Structure 1
Amino acid sequence: MTPEVKLSTSSGSEAITWPSSRLGSYSSKPHAPSKDARWDAVGRFEAEFGQLGLNDLRFIRRVGSGDIGSVYLVEIKGAEGCVFAAKVMDKEELASRCKESRANIEREILEMLDHPFLPALYATLDSDRWSCLLTEFCPGGDLHILRQQQPDRRFNEAAVRFYASEVVVAFEYLHMMGIIYRDLKPENVLIRSDGHIMLTDFDLCLKCDNSTPIALVKDQATLTKNSLPLCTVKQTPLSRILPNCKLPNIYCLRPRRTRRLRPSHHGLIDIVAEPIDTRSMSFVGTHEYLSPEIVSGEGHGNAVDWWTLGIFMYEMFYGVTPFRGVDNEFTLGNIVARAVEFPKEPAMPSSMKDLISQLLTKDPMERMGSTTGAAALKHHPFFQGVNWALLRCTTPPSVPKAVVQQDVEGKKEERVKNNVEYY
Structure 2
Amino acid sequence: MEPPWLDDDLRSISFNSTTTTTATDINRSTSSESEATWTSSTPTKPHALSGDPCWDAIRRSGSLSLTDIRFIQRLGAGDIGSVYLANLKSSSAAVFAAKVMDKKEIASRNKDARATTEREILEVLDHPFLPTLYAWLESPKWSCLLTEFCPGGDLHVLRQRQPCKRFPESTVRFYVSEVVVALEYLHMLGIVYRDLKPENVLVRSEGHIMLTDFDLSLKRDLSMSTPTQLFPNHNHLNPPPPTYHRPLDPPKFTSSSCILPNCIVPSVLCFHPMRKRKKPANYGGPEFVVEPVDVRSMSFVGTHEYLAPEIISGEGHGSAVDWWTLGIFMYELFYGVTPFKGMHNELTLANIVARALEFPKEPAIPAMARDLISQLLIKDPDRRLGSMMGATAIKHHPFFHGVNWALLRCTSPPFVPPPFCHHEAADNGCHGTPVEYY
TM-score (norm 2): 0.75
Contact in 1 for aligned 2:228/2:288 (Cα 8 Å): yes
Tell me how far apart the structure 1 counterparts of residues 199 and 86 of structure 2 sit (CA, whole Å).
Answer: 21
Q: CA, structure 1 residues 96+375, in 2 after alignment: closer, same or farther (shift >3 Å)?
A: closer
Gaps of 5+ in 2: 1-38, 244-276, 430-438
Residue 68 of structure 1 and its aligned partner are, at CA, apart by 1.8
Equivalent of residue 305 in structure 2, options 288, 297, 302: 288
Question: Could you say which residue in structure 2 is the equivalent of 1:318?
Answer: 335
Equivalent of residue 165 in structure 1, options 177, 185, 192: 177
Tell me how far apart the structure 1 counterparts of residues 170 and 91 of structure 2 sit (CA, whole Å).
Answer: 39
Deviations 1:364-419, CA, capped at 9 Å, x for gaps: 1000000101111111100000010000111111111112343343249xxxxxxx
Gaps of 5+ in 1: 1-21, 231-248, 251-265, 413-423
Q: CA, structure 1 residues 311+96, in 2 after alignment: closer, same or farther (shift >3 Å)?
A: closer
Question: Could you say which residue in structure 2 is the equivalent of 1:56?
Answer: 68
Tell me how far apart the structure 1 counterparts of residues 149 and 115 of structure 2 sit (CA, whole Å).
Answer: 19
2:394 maps to 1:401: no
Contact in 2 for aligned 1:274/1:371 (Cα 8 Å): no
1:109-188 equivalences under 5 Å are: 109-188=121-200
Question: Could you say which residue in structure 2 is the equivalent of 1:213?
Answer: 227
Secondary structure of the structure 2 residue equivalent to 1:63: strand
Larger deviation: 201-210 or 340-349? 201-210
Question: Could you say which residue in structure 2 is the equivalent of 1:7?
Answer: none
Tell me how far apart the structure 2 counterparts of residues 100 and 40 of structure 1 sit (CA, whole Å).
Answer: 37
Equivalent of residue 54 in structure 2, options 32, 35, 38: 38
Q: CA, structure 1 residues 342+229, in 2 after alignment: closer, same or farther (shift >3 Å)?
A: closer
Question: Could you say which residue in structure 2 is the equivalent of 1:73?
Answer: 85
Larger deviation: 99-108 or 341-350? 99-108
Residue 23 of structure 1 and its aligned partner are, at CA, apart by 7.8
Deviations 1:107-162, CA, capped at 9 Å, x for gaps: 10101111000001100101344210110001111100000000000101011100
Tell me how far apart the structure 2 counterparts of residues 291 and 103 of structure 1 sit (CA, whole Å).
Answer: 18
Residue 89 of structure 1 and its aligned partner are, at CA, apart by 1.4
Alignment size in residue pairs: 352
Tell me how far apart the structure 2 counterparts of residues 100 and 58 of structure 1 sit (CA, whole Å).
Answer: 35
Residue 100 of structure 1 and its aligned partner are, at CA, apart by 11
Tell me how far apart the structure 2 counterparts of residues 200 and 146 of structure 1 sit (CA, whole Å).
Answer: 16
Tell me how far apart the structure 2 counterparts of residues 294 and 206 of structure 1 sit (CA, whole Å).
Answer: 13
Secondary structure of the structure 1 residue equivalent to 2:131: coil
Deviations 1:172-202, CA, capped at 9 Å, x for gaps: 1001111111110001101111111000111
Which structure features the higher share of helix residues? 1
Tell me how far apart the structure 2 counterparts of residues 220 and 283 of structure 1 sit (CA, whole Å).
Answer: 35
Q: Over aligned residue pairs, what C-alpha RMSD do you find?
A: 2.8
Question: Could you say which residue in structure 2 is the equivalent of 1:410?
Answer: 427
Contact in 1 for aligned 2:42/2:136 (Cα 8 Å): no
Contact in 1 for aligned 2:323/2:385 (Cα 8 Å): yes
Tell me how far apart the structure 1 counterparts of residues 349 and 46 of structure 2 sit (CA, whole Å).
Answer: 40
Question: Could you say which residue in structure 2 is the equivalent of 1:108?
Answer: 120
Question: Could you say which residue in structure 2 is the equivalent of 1:14?
Answer: none
Equivalent of residue 84 in structure 1, options 76, 96, 110: 96
2:209 maps to 1:197: yes
Amino acid at match of 2:290: A
2:376 maps to 1:364: no
Secondary structure of the structure 2 residue equivalent to 1:73: strand
Secondary structure of the structure 2 residue equivalent to 1:112: coil
Secondary structure of the structure 2 residue equivalent to 1:85: strand
Contact in 2 for aligned 1:30/1:120 (Cα 8 Å): no
Contact in 2 for aligned 1:88/1:133 (Cα 8 Å): yes
